[in-house]
Structure 1
Amino acid sequence: MATRIKMLLSLAICAVLALVHLPFTTAGGGEVAAPFEYKKALHSSLLYFEAQRSGRLPHNQRVKWRGHSGLADGLQQGVDLVGGYYDAGDNVKFGLPMAFTVTMLSWSAMEFADDITAAGEWRHVLEAIKWGTDYFVKAHTEPYVLWAEVGDGDTDHYCWQRPEDMTTSRQAYKVDRDNPGSDLVGETAAALAAASMVFRRSNPHYAQVLLHHAEQLFEFGDKYRGKYDSSIGEAYSYYASVSGYGDEILWAALWLHRATGKASYLDYAVDMADEFGGTTWAITEFSWDVKYAGLQILATKVLLEGKHPEYKATLEKYLPACLNKERRRLFVAKAEHYLCACLNKNGDAGNVNRTAGGMLFVRQWNNMQYVTNAAFLLTVYSRYLTSAGQEPPVLQCPDGPAHADELRSLARAQTDYVLGANPAGVSYLVGFIGCMQGYDNWFLRRGANPNVVIGAIVGGPDHLDRFRDRRDNYMQTEACTYNTAPMVGIFAHLHGKTAIMKKS
């Protein structure tokens, strides 16, 4: 799938990155012998979301160099669109990647709640999620209206300035019955449904509000179908929905089934599985645009739990049994395809490329998003296999079985690569202007940044593990919220595992 297109001067990296160089050493078997402070990485990743906040900042804001911004968002349209997140280094609030970010933060919170709590970061995770969900509730002004974007990339990228000093357009764009956006609406429904489960104990009323909006949005996205970037041309050049809306609608249905327990949502996911591609797409990436691998793993969770035997036949298309070589090509859409591709065990069905340094490599632009999402799905699926009581807990790949520990090992290797276990010895987790003055004074300046976006994960190196740390190298140096979101849970999980090992 294509990623968003940007012109040479289209980046407004309001926070260029200070990367930490670390030693790179290898141990037996090619594994990197480098201890990492996963708790510190978790703490930093949550600071990053505070740095990306738009709106009126709270008194407990920890990133002190960030100030209030976008306080008149929605004013021209007569709606309150203050709040939410900037997606990356620019000052536009793009709804699709923002919603995916919140979905992944919520999934992290659900899967790794104990680890996050033990690391002392549960309150900050809730705050990061709620900053997004509060905005989505505001943006859903009517049952069949969702405000999709504030600002536009073309005018925003003309300037390189802090969001606190914005002088560019804050035009807002919406999807509605006449201008549908099922992909955006579906992802927002998924985010709200997932978040509702996170808040169920601590704030049941808020959880119910989120679920109410999620169900309304799902109905909206299903009843009025269409791609949001066909309705909002301003979004096309930056976050085009290349995969269409089928994956987001199925994704939302499965999240709503998990949140509500209503059979109707699982019925929908099963009935629409073929038409929307859930059981017919072979995927080797998981991203803000392409949700198939994630929704297939959610579907396999239902099958592994064995709670709905009546759906076994269809759900097994999401998760087929062990396949021989002759039948392998008949099953192209399944969770195993993605996971086995990451493990390099997919045979002639196709694998994810790896660099010499061991990084999963999907494409040149912001490859790190695929790395962090893969680490998350590998870890989560290994837990599902183990909790299902399967002995031994193995994934059946075309090139042979893979034990759950193998999935976890690859996930940890990708995480450690991000943190510094790579040939460049660089941590890609960061540990920073009026309008054109941003270019004149900072863009090409070689000096240090006055502010550092701690916890941001940059685009990362190329297929040869090469990384050029320059502001104008936005393919590699721009950080995005959806790069860091899946790592919140992984950092917490690995910290918990490390703590257990130290005690033993």
Structure 2
Amino acid sequence: MKKIISLVLSAALSLSLVLPSATVSADSSSYNYAEALQKSLYFYEAQQAGPLPDWNRVEWRGDATMNDAVLGGWYDAGDHVKFNLPMSYSAAMLGWAMYEYPEGFEKSGQMDTMKNNLKFVLDYLVDCDKGTSVVYQVGDGAKDHNWWGPVEVIEKKMARPSYTCNASCITGQMAAALAVGSIVLNDSTYLTHAKSLFSLGDSVRSDSTYTAANDYYKSWSGFWDELLWASTWLYIATGDESYIKKAESYLPNLERQGASTDIEYQWCHCWDDCKPGAILLLSRITGKEEYHNYIKMHLDYWTVGYNGAKIKYTPGGLAWLDTWGCLRYATTTAFLASVYSDSIDDSTLKARYEGFAKTHIDYCLGANPSKRSYVCGFGTNPPVHPHHRTSQGSWADNINTPPYHRHILYGALVGGPSSSDGYTDTVQDYTANEVACDYNAGYTGMLAKMCSIYGGTPVANFPQPETKEDEFFAEASINSSGPTYTELKVLLNNQSGWPARVIKDLSFNYYVDLSEVFAAGAKLSDLKVKVNISEFPVTISELKQYSGDIYYVNVKFEDGTNIYPGGQSAFSGEVQFRISAPEATSYWDPKNDYSYDGLAASTVVKTKKITVYDGDKLIFGTEPDGTAPTEGATPTKTIAPSTPTPSTPSTLRGDMDLSGAVNSIDFGLMRQYLLAMKTDFTSAQLAAGDMDGNGSVNSIDFGLLRKKLLGMS
């Protein structure tokens, strides 16, 4: 009978948590929480490893790390290591959010997306369960963090080792995530693994084998909190009272607050320390005063103070726990405050905790002294330089190349401001601008609560396609020349980012006009083609007829995957080749050659008149007859657009080609200006490019133009 009553009570409490609190007015919504929730889930899709599911919405992501010991899971942060301790914690928190506020996901139209994302990571955790051990990390943290490039090509740079252990911290955390998942996704497989992982962790009761991640995610709090967290969720999933007995038996082993007998309460529920959330759940399950007292001590420390101690607050009203991920801690505590307030009747405490929760989620979304969003792609003046390799899309293994982010990392909550509310949006500041799966975990749960109260409207047709840059292209210069020959230097570039990728059958064509050769009575066989220098092995064809007197040579890389966006020496392959006539002849003249047009000595320039191919598919440039690439289709014949009639200088912000419209051409021109790829801009063009009107064109203007093209401004 006691077991039945306990289960009924637990179910009733869970039901009460999905009802909007009567103390919060439904007309006091401050932000479009549904949009924020929608974008937060997109962030998790940007972190997906392995073969991407067909529902993944991130156009600049592709299958990656396909040789990992276990495929799938989430990359941890702005890097590409898979750390199971924060990963499984994040999964548990997302599951908890679904458990508490399912109507928040339903109202915002995000339930199916949430289920997909949670299942994706839980399936990975199942695959990491090896029975007597678990895979707890994939990737070398030091090597990974020393390279700055997109994840799709990381395996060209380094091997990715995997590490196994039987440590209680990780088995407990994985068990908790799978136990929650078994409830909200109604999956018995997850429950089976949750039980076995918990049994393993409880029998080992040690973290001694958890070593590889210690420089990044050390289990500072030990393993008792993870076992407590897991056993509590296993009770909720099964109703088996032995799990509650286990949970309560762990409590004496938890850390104490200073020299007192109180369980430590002056930190935060997080990937390393799950006791606040576990004890909150115990307070609801058992009704015991000691658990209610603990969670009130914890939440009061974060709000009004407890026993003379109170967390530090910034001048702008942010409860600021630590330099690293201060917004992560604040929003996670906001989630706990919200959950606890839903299960108590004390009107004073409800108002205190609900007020804290809403204040802190709104701080992240724009209610702060800077009046800016701390969430990428959301709200006013959001971060545009998160410390995230793949969204920046560098091809040169350089955090400053390009000086902007090629992609919007929608929904990512950055680390946050200093204790004085100071913040600078720069990719170099990994303290303020790092993003991570655990940063978004409690934040996502808090958004679900807000949606459960206020609803909101997700963005239609999200995400909009990005404006793509040239990904594979040729640059060339005249290496040397004489009366009987022309020697060219061509750099074939792979700066791909939609997504970053490699191409095996990579080649380019160089076109010449041989009318003067034939007019002199010479034959095609009189001309010779020779490669002098090649950075990577290539084969070069003899001259082949394109049309009429137009001929071409094809330079094919034996393995085009050697050219990839992974570093200064990797993203570009150089070839020097010569086309020559016999000595003592005088008919050779390259000036009428199609591909020679616009080239200069010594300085390489980008040219569309050297065409690039993936196998037989044209992917860059324009052939002599006007054939140009068509995205996702076989190249088609196109007619070159007529030259626009000159007009008075444009005053339209962003209209850098002075055409009277703002489009992707202007985006490309501004990029060329910022990278010094093109310098002959008129004062009228630069005035049009000065988006913020400060008298110069810089990366801020580039970001503003990107937002304009994406319909964000």
**Which of the five TM-score ranges fits, normalised by the shorter chain?**
0.7 to 0.9
Amino acid at match of 1:222: D
Does structure 1 residue 243 correspond to structure 2 residue 221?
A: yes
Which position in structure 1 is the counterpart of 2:161?
171
Q: CA deviation at 1:336?
A: 1.3
Amino acid at match of 1:461: P
Query: For residues 283 and 355 of structure 1, what CA distance do their matches in structure 2 show?
Result: 17
* Residues 119-268 of structure 1 mapped to structure 2, 5 A cutoff: 119-142=108-131, 144-166=132-154, 167-176=157-166, 181-200=167-186, 207-227=187-207, 230-268=208-246
**Aligned mate of 2:286, from 303, 306, 311:** 303
Is the contact made by 1:458 and 1:479 (CA closer than 8 Å) also made in structure 2? yes
Query: For residues 228 and 355 of structure 2, what CA distance do their matches in structure 1 show?
Result: 30
Deviates more, 1:470-479 or 1:264-273: 264-273
Is the contact made by 1:116 and 1:489 (CA closer than 8 Å) also made in structure 2? no
Which position in structure 1 is the counterpart of 2:85?
96
Does structure 1 residue 274 correspond to structure 2 residue 252?
A: yes
SS of 1:100's partner is helix
Amino acid at match of 2:233: W
Which position in structure 1 is the counterpart of 2:104?
115
Deviates more, 1:445-454 or 1:265-274: 445-454
What's the TM-score once normalised by structure 2's chain length? 0.56
Is the contact made by 1:378 and 1:408 (CA closer than 8 Å) also made in structure 2? yes
Query: For residues 227 and 45 of structure 2, what CA distance do their matches in structure 1 show?
Result: 29
Query: For residues 252 and 121 of structure 1, what CA distance do their matches in structure 2 show?
Result: 27
* Residues 6-21 of structure 1 mapped to structure 2, 5 A cutoff: none
Query: For residues 316 and 152 of structure 2, what CA distance do their matches in structure 1 show?
Result: 40
Query: CA separation of 1:34/1:127 partners in 2, compared to 1, >3 Å: closer, same or farther?
Result: closer
Query: For residues 488 and 438 of structure 1, what CA distance do their matches in structure 2 show?
Result: 29
What's the TM-score once normalised by structure 1's chain length? 0.78
Q: CA deviation at 1:280?
A: 2.8
Is the contact made by 1:283 and 1:293 (CA closer than 8 Å) also made in structure 2? no
Q: CA deviation at 1:447?
A: 3.3
Q: CA deviation at 1:444?
A: 2.4
Does structure 1 residue 492 correspond to structure 2 residue 487?
A: no
**Aligned mate of 2:434, from 478, 484, 489:** 478
Query: CA separation of 1:168/1:51 partners in 2, compared to 1, >3 Å: closer, same or farther?
Result: same
Query: CA separation of 1:240/1:456 partners in 2, compared to 1, >3 Å: closer, same or farther?
Result: same
Larger radius of gyration: 2
Q: CA deviation at 1:466?
A: 0.3
User: Greater helix percent: which structure?
Assistant: 1
SS of 1:88's partner is coil
Does structure 1 residue 406 correspond to structure 2 residue 352?
A: yes
Query: For residues 349 and 245 of structure 2, what CA distance do their matches in structure 1 show?
Result: 31
Does structure 1 residue 38 correspond to structure 2 residue 45?
A: no
Question: Cα RMSD over matched residues?
Answer: 2.0
Q: CA deviation at 1:131?
A: 1.1
Is the contact made by 2:33 and 2:455 (CA closer than 8 Å) also made in structure 1? no
Which position in structure 1 is the counterpart of 2:424?
468
Query: CA separation of 1:499/1:212 partners in 2, compared to 1, >3 Å: closer, same or farther?
Result: closer
**Aligned mate of 2:63, from 47, 60, 68:** 68
**Count of equivalent residues:** 410
Query: For residues 238 and 433 of structure 1, what CA distance do their matches in structure 2 show?
Result: 18
Is the contact made by 2:364 and 2:373 (CA closer than 8 Å) also made in structure 1? yes
Relative CO higher for 1 or 2, CA cutoff 8 Å, sep ≥ 6?
1
Query: For residues 480 and 208 of structure 1, what CA distance do their matches in structure 2 show?
Result: 29
Query: For residues 107 and 236 of structure 2, what CA distance do their matches in structure 1 show?
Result: 25
Is the contact made by 1:34 and 1:421 (CA closer than 8 Å) also made in structure 2? no
Q: CA deviation at 1:409?
A: 1.2
Which position in structure 2 is the counterpart of 1:366?
325
Deviates more, 1:275-284 or 1:92-101: 275-284
Q: CA deviation at 1:499?
A: 4.2
Query: For residues 440 and 272 of structure 2, what CA distance do their matches in structure 1 show?
Result: 16
Q: CA deviation at 1:319?
A: 2.4
Query: For residues 64 and 45 of structure 2, what CA distance do their matches in structure 1 show?
Result: 13
SS of 1:209's partner is helix
Quick one: percent identity of the two aligned structures? 31
Amino acid at match of 1:225: R
**Aligned mate of 1:54, from 44, 49, 59:** 49
Query: CA separation of 1:34/1:60 partners in 2, compared to 1, >3 Å: closer, same or farther?
Result: closer
Is the contact made by 2:265 and 2:298 (CA closer than 8 Å) also made in structure 1? yes
User: Greater strand percent: which structure?
Assistant: 2
Which position in structure 1 is the counterpart of 2:493?
none
Query: For residues 375 and 164 of structure 1, what CA distance do their matches in structure 2 show?
Result: 35
Query: For residues 275 and 444 of structure 1, what CA distance do their matches in structure 2 show?
Result: 48
Amino acid at match of 1:199: L
1:129-181 C-alpha deviation (Å, 9 max, x unpaired): 11110001100022x211100012111112111110112231000013xxxx1
Amino acid at match of 1:382: S
Query: For residues 192 and 290 of structure 1, what CA distance do their matches in structure 2 show?
Result: 18
Which position in structure 1 is the counterpart of 2:336?
377
1:373-398 C-alpha deviation (Å, 9 max, x unpaired): 0111011001111xxxx4xx25xxxx
Query: For residues 68 and 418 of structure 1, what CA distance do their matches in structure 2 show?
Result: 32
Is the contact made by 2:94 and 2:441 (CA closer than 8 Å) also made in structure 1? yes
Amino acid at match of 1:226: S
